Amino acid sequence: MAFDKVKTLRAAERSLEMGKIPAAIKEYCKIVEGEPDDFTTLNILGDLHVRVGNHEAAISCFRRIADHYREQDFALKAIAMFRKIDRLRPSDVEIANSLADLYAQQDLVVEARAHYLVVANAHAKSGATQAGLDVLAKIADLDPQNTDVRIKLAEGYLKEGMRNEAAAAFSDAGQSLLARGALDESLNAFSRSLDIRPGDYVTLNGLLAAHSTRGTADEAAEIIARASSENPDDLKLLSMLAGAYVKAEDAAQADAATVALIEKDQSAYLRLVDVAHLYLGLDQVHAAVAVVARISEQMLAEHEEQQLLELLNECLTCDADNVQALRLLVRAHWWQRDVDNLKASLERMAEAAEAAGVVDEERYALTQLTRLAPEHTAYADRLQELGGATEEAAAEVLPEFEPTAEGRTETNAEPVAHDFAIEPESSSPLNGESEFQWSSISEVTDPQDAAGTEMEIERGFTFEGVVSEELSGSLDESAGETSDAEEDRRATLRKQELESVDFYIAQGYADIAIDTLDLLEQQFGKHPDIDLRRQQLETGAETAAIVMDAELPAEASAIEQSADSSAAIDCPQPYLPVVQQPVANVQVIDAGLAEIFEEYRVSAESETIGNGDYETHYNLGLAYQEMDLFEEALEEFQMAISLVSPDDGSTRYLQCCNLLGHCFMQKGVPQLAVKWFNKGLSSPNTSDDERQALRFDLAAAYEQAGDLNQAKNLFTEIYGVNVSYRGVNERLKSLESRMA
């Protein structure tokens, strides 16, 4: 026989109306069995299991929903469902770990730490010390600046023989201390890490940075040299050693280490540029020029001529008459086919060589000048005085120069290294090488779009924008695609959003469901599934009320008579993170680790306000409110409002006042709702539309609190401005009939 969902759903609702909860559970089980992905029905089924005291069955339902939301990256909804499980099964290690991970994703440090502590304490009591330390490492990651605890954690790892973990923890502590400028403490942490892993690159780099800042880079170089000698084929260590000697200003050692590196990796030849700069800084110009001579030909071959020219000019700034540097400058300009600069360099070289008495270099420069500028007879006369042109220089083939050329052309012959007196080593060229997120809402509900029954408690003007933001965020991902897979993606997105619509209908949020359906129809066009939900909204007001009765505590006398004492669970209790106290007679780890546990516990208890920004708490509060976890929603909204002020120029304070008021009304505490709605009305920079919405909500709160005169006055004020606003005319008539 085919499964008839509508018929089964009606049977379940009739059973609820008659107070036959076990019979309703049986019918809802049929629906879930027929449609495993109907998470709205699954949530209702879980709530009914709670009412009859079958907590294990309820947890099974809630866990399926929580896992679904987590897999879909709806972290806030997943947290809300795991919180429902946590209330039914406190201190469950698996649930606490799931909650902790989700809280950590949302940057809610205090909440994450509290649940990680539950897991860590459970591991400690069972003797699983290593697993407990791993959890404590997660807690330490939540607060990287807490280096004292991280060092104690490293010591705990070391005692347990977890050497790699200990070394990593010491290194992390050293990095944090270095960032804070605590150089001596960071060096101590790095040293303890290197005692365990002497060749760790990250730790050695941190050690070098700390010593360099401290002015003792030579000490770091000694440590790196020992590590390199123990691993002679490790190029990273050798490269680090060369850099360490440069920072230590030990030019000779830096030169030797860099040459050793280049012998194993010719692509590192530019590291000698740092060595040349170091020699220049030490006023050893001849040594610097000698280093440049070693790499000049490779720099030209690798098209690093500009860097070469800059380096040579630095050398000539220190010693303008250095003949060897001028000879290299001539070579660079010859390679570039820059005739003007070549002539100028040859003239400088001739003058410097004459002053230094280096006849061969002067004859070479004059020979090339007489060939490049034969009209200048002075060059020829001086050359004759020196004995005439050298055969080698005269035999060189002059390239075809373009006076304004900035670089050589591929068709011209390129001079080779043996044309010059300096013969540097040659080398071959180098080879080239998400989330579901709620957004802040600044607009109020349009009066013409409001929906709901006469006495329904309004959900607040922020939800309309929230739904639009959630839907548009998921639909934007599919925009612009025209492939065959587009239809499948659209169908998937439509199904996902319809699932949210089902949830809104089940929870009684008719206005949100209607807005979502309108947006879906605009994006995807008409569809039978959308029409089906509209029919449910049009004909199911009474049915929805019955379903909501199943989730609310003891509102119908028939249900109250059939439910056992476990029905008290339906009323959400204030959530407090479960942090178990250390038990002295069950201590199975050493005193040092016990101290770590206690330090974490005290830190967790001392922070009463959760970490994170306004948006995180606000969005989490919305998720809790959707799941009817009003106590938790109130906690998050109160945290959010504590992070803003009424006069900060935004609507965030007003939004929180509005939502706090609605949550208190849902909890049946209209007196507190009145307080928050009044706070919202008193906030500055409130628009007329926002004030109108708050007056209506305030009037509804007064009516629920039994202050009918105040309610009537406010409804009358609203009626005087807009007679059709949110059915105010009918509200006034109903109120007057009650007061008669």
What is the DSSP track for 635-703? HHHHHHHHT--TTSSSSHHHHHHHHHHHHHHHTT-HHHHHHHHHHHHHSSS--HHHHHHHHHHHHHHHH
| Angle ∠(343,345,349) on CA atoms, nearest 5 | 115
**CATH number of this structure's domain 644-739:** 1.25.40.10
627 confidence band (pLDDT: 50, 70, 90): confident
Please tell me the predicted confidence (pLDDT) of residue 64: 95
Amino acid at 647: D
Please tell me the predicted confidence (pLDDT) of residue 131: 87
Closest CA to 210 of 197, 226, 194, 196: 194
For 572-623, the pLDDT digits (tens) are 333 333 333 333 333 344 455 556 666 656 555 554 444 457 887 888 888 8
Q: What distance in Å separates the CA atoms of residue 217 and residue 181, rounded to the nearest whole number?
A: 16
Q: What distance in Å separates the CA atoms of residue 697 and residue 730, rounded to the nearest whole number?
A: 15
Looking at the predicted structure, is the pLDDT value of residue 409 above 60? Answer: no
Average pLDDT over residues 56-76: 94
What is the average pLDDT score of the chain? 79
Please tell me the predicted confidence (pLDDT) of residue 188: 97
Average pLDDT over residues 418-437: 36
For 441-481, the pLDDT digits (tens) are 333 334 334 334 333 433 333 333 333 333 344 344 444 44
- Please tell me what DSSP assigns to residue 610: -
Q: Which residues contact 728 (CB under 8 A, 6 or more apart)?
A: 696, 715, 718, 719, 722
Closest CA to 21 of 31, 30, 13, 9: 13
Looking at the predicted structure, is the pLDDT value of residue 502 above 80? Answer: no
Please tell me the predicted confidence (pLDDT) of residue 308: 96
Please tell me the predicted confidence (pLDDT) of residue 595: 60
> What separation in angstroms does the CA of 117 have from each of 580, 595, 599?
8, 13, 11
Residues 620, 635 contacting (CB under 8 angstroms): no
Helices (H) and strands (E) in the chain — how many of each?
37, 0
Helix (H, G, I), strand (E, B), or coil: what is residue 239?
helix
277 confidence band (pLDDT: 50, 70, 90): very high
Average pLDDT over residues 148-153: 88
- For 132, list phi and psi in degrees, rounded to 5: -65, -40
417 confidence band (pLDDT: 50, 70, 90): very low
Please tell me the predicted confidence (pLDDT) of residue 395: 56
Q: What distance in Å separates the CA atoms of residue 349 and residue 364, rounded to the nearest whole number?
A: 9
How far, rounded to the nearest angstrom, does the alpha carbon of residue 172 sit from its chain's CA centroid? 19
Domains 5-124+576-594 and 644-739 share a fold: yes
Looking at the predicted structure, is the pLDDT value of residue 376 above 60? Answer: yes
Task: For the chain, give the longest Cα–Cα distance.
Answer: 132
Q: What distance in Å separates the CA atoms of residue 308 and residue 15, rounded to the nearest whole number?
A: 89
Of 587 and 632, which is predicted with more confidence?
632
Residues 200, 171 contacting (CB under 8 angstroms): yes
Tell me the two tokens of residue 508: 């009684």
Q: What distance in Å separates the CA atoms of residue 238 and residue 261, rounded to the nearest whole number?
A: 6
Closest CA to 296 of 414, 408, 423, 430: 423
Please tell me the predicted confidence (pLDDT) of residue 496: 66
For 656-707, the pLDDT digits (tens) are 999 999 999 999 999 999 999 999 999 988 899 999 999 999 999 999 999 9
Give the domain ranges of the chain: 5-124+576-594, 456-475+486-551, 644-739
Count CB atoms within 10 A of the CB of residue 90: 13
Taking domain 5-124+576-594, whether its CATH number is 1.25.40.10 is answered by yes
Please tell me the predicted confidence (pLDDT) of residue 634: 92
Torsion of CA 377, 382, 384, 388, to 10 degrees: -100
Q: What distance in Å separates the CA atoms of residue 740 and residue 737, rounded to the nearest whole number?
A: 5
User: Position of tokens 């059709």?
Assistant: 724
Helix (H, G, I), strand (E, B), or coil: what is residue 127?
coil
Q: What distance in Å separates the CA atoms of residue 526 and residue 22, rounded to the nearest whole number?
A: 38
Looking at the predicted structure, is the pLDDT value of residue 111 above 80? Answer: yes
Please tell me the predicted confidence (pLDDT) of residue 176: 93
Q: What distance in Å separates the CA atoms of residue 115 and residue 127, rounded to the nearest whole number?
A: 19
Looking at the predicted structure, is the pLDDT value of residue 130 above 70? Answer: yes
110 confidence band (pLDDT: 50, 70, 90): confident
Of 173 and 554, which is predicted with more confidence?
173
Q: What distance in Å separates the CA atoms of residue 143 and residue 113, rounded to the nearest whole number?
A: 10
Of 620 and 430, which is predicted with more confidence?
620
Looking at the predicted structure, is the pLDDT value of residue 280 above 60? Answer: yes
Average pLDDT over residues 287-316: 95
Closest CA to 703 of 654, 739, 676, 657: 739
Residues 217, 207 contacting (CB under 8 angstroms): no
Q: What distance in Å separates the CA atoms of residue 727 and residue 447, rounded to the nearest whole number?
A: 9
For 200-225, the pLDDT digits (tens) are 999 999 999 999 999 999 999 999 99
For 252-273, the pLDDT digits (tens) are 999 999 999 999 999 999 999 9
Please tell me the predicted confidence (pLDDT) of residue 30: 92
Q: What distance in Å separates the CA atoms of residue 13 and residue 339, rounded to the nearest whole number?
A: 97
Residues 169, 157 contacting (CB under 8 angstroms): yes
Average pLDDT over residues 532-544: 67
379 confidence band (pLDDT: 50, 70, 90): confident
Looking at the predicted structure, is the pLDDT value of residue 506 above 90? Answer: no
Of 644 and 443, which is predicted with more confidence?
644
Q: What distance in Å separates the CA atoms of residue 638 and residue 656, rounded to the nearest whole number?
A: 8
Please tell me the predicted confidence (pLDDT) of residue 89: 93
Of 303 and 566, which is predicted with more confidence?
303
